[in-house]
Chain A
Amino acid sequence: MTLATHWHYWVVIALMMTGLHIVIARRNYVKKLMGLSIFQVSVIMLYVTMGKVEGGTAPVYVMKGEGHDAVPNLEIAYSNPVPHVLMLTAIVVGIATMALGLALVVRIKESYGSVEDDVVIEKDRAEEEALES
């Protein structure tokens, strides 16, 4: 294991942690979702780096031969198609989550007047105290 052979993974890990940090550290809900987006894209990067084959081309067959007799050239190297397929799904799941999250943020803003975590928690606490007394 050397820097040369593994640096891709390490940079991707750094990116993941950048995203995760934003999600946890920032109080603004929209900012949290941005961090989540970065985190998820970085995970996709992880899978894609796993699927890369050195000297491999995209997993679309390069054909040899003409017309109906064309067959794929299986001698050359292709990158692994499986991580690509999985990541297409992951991207879609990511946007679905983002859309729902942003819709929730809009409703929170309308009901609480703010999209900052500490303000929302404080308002909830105050409301609970009022109900208890």
Chain B
Amino acid sequence: MSELPLEAVLFMFLLVVGIVVGRLRNLFGAAMLTGIFSFLSAGLFTLLTAVDVAFTEAAVGAGISTVLFLATLALTDDTERPSERSWLAIGVVSVTGLALFFGTFDMPSFGDPEAPIHKGVGQHYLMHSWDEIGLPNVVTSVLASYRGYDTFGELAVVFTAGIGVLLLLRSKSAVMGAKAKPIPARSRAPYVREMPIVRAVAKVMLPFIMLFALYVQAHGDFGPGGGFQAGVVFAAAFILYGLVWGPRAVQRIAPERLLEGGMAFGLLLYGGVGVAALFAGGTFLDYSAFTPDHPSHGQHWGIFLVELGVGITVSAVMLVIYFVFTARPRPRLPKKRGPLAPPRLTAVPELPVDHSKERPAP
């Protein structure tokens, strides 16, 4: 197995990172390491041929999750207080770990093709999905059709999170109908916005990121990809824009109302396809009912529509969550600077800039 050394190295890194995250009291560093943990996992998943999972983990775990942690840290303390040894934790972890270790005794060897897990439904999907559905990416066939109801539930989970975060963090002023207070000067990001390199690169990358998202959405039938990954990447483009130019700028092109509508619309689209199948004479989400003579055509249409619904809701929810975190007013008290805090960012000295030729800010 020529991949063995690489797997071993990745696992080793993962273990070290995991342990350090626990011990590091500088939360900014810990957040970045958590992102690195996800990123290394994505690499590991690729080695283990779980390409769809790797893609999603990279986008969601290493991407969105890290952004959220950093956004939270900006609103809370960035250093952790020291904690004593917890005997409860050691006890629970030992018992649980030993139990799991014990459970591996009767597990099949890693990669064993004769294991029962590979003789069950998994085999049916591999053997028959081409005839029944006709897509090269078997994961998409399973995700969007065979187990499409699970994915519907999953989309509902995303929607639930969006609603929950809105309930928790939408600022009182926005809710009460008053015009949103301007973001306090201290928290605007003049530092980032005025760096010409960052601006230039971001501007160049944004359209490609969005194009890539659309590609992933459409191409999920043929390779790794699909609604979730596409939604996250699409939102990432806007988040990048927001990181450089400030949330204000993003609000102008993607107002919150539109996003909330998008959140709901995607889920309704998915459910709508399911209900339409009921009217067409099948059961919920039975796409073949749309085209009884050519069942796989109906499958293609159904999968296309539901994946679209997924992409819309996921990107809307990710953006809504980003908005709501960044629009939250920063604490007015000066944060206590612990000994391990990262150095305060200082403003870049003013470079002589010729304002006459500059285009108005986006």
Contacts and interface: CB of A to CB of B under 8 A. Distances in A.
A72 B147 CA distance: 21
A41 B22 CA distance: 15
B289 to A, nearest CB: 22
A109 B51 contact: no
A110 B60 CA distance: 27
B72 A102 contact: yes
A72 B127 CA distance: 9
A5 B34 CA distance: 29
Contacts of A22: 21-22
Interface in A30-80: 30-31, 33-35, 37-38, 41, 44-45, 48-61, 63, 71-72, 74, 77-80
Interface residues of A, number: 85
Contacts of A102: 68-69, 71-72, 325
Q: Is the interface of A mostly helix, strand, loop or mixed?
A: helix
A87 interface: yes
B113 A88 contact: no
B137 to A, nearest CB: 5
A61 B126 CA distance: 9
A126 interface: no
Interface residues of B, number: 97
Interface string B117-155: 110011001110010000011110111000100110110
B310 to A, nearest CB: 10
A109 B333 CA distance: 12
A67 B358 CA distance: 52
Interface in A8-26: 8-11, 13-22, 24-26
Given A25-B86, A85-B142, A89-B150, A99 B111 contact: no
A21 B83 CA distance: 13
Interface of A: 1, 5-11, 13-22, 24-28, 30-31, 33-35, 37-38, 41, 44-45, 48-61, 63, 71-72, 74, 77-89, 91-100, 102-107, 109-110, 114-116
Interface of B: 1, 7, 11, 14-15, 18-19, 21-22, 27, 30-31, 34, 37-38, 41, 44-45, 48-53, 56-57, 60-61, 64-65, 68-69, 71-73, 75-77, 80-81, 83, 85-86, 88-90, 92-93, 96-97, 100-101, 104-105, 107, 109-113, 117-118, 121-122, 125-127, 130, 136-139, 141-143, 147, 150-151, 153-154, 157-158, 160-161, 164-165, 168-169, 222-224, 228, 321, 324-325, 328, 331
Q: Which 6 A-B pairs have the closest CB atoms?
A: A54-B111, A96-B161, A5-B109, A25-B89, A24-B89, A25-B86
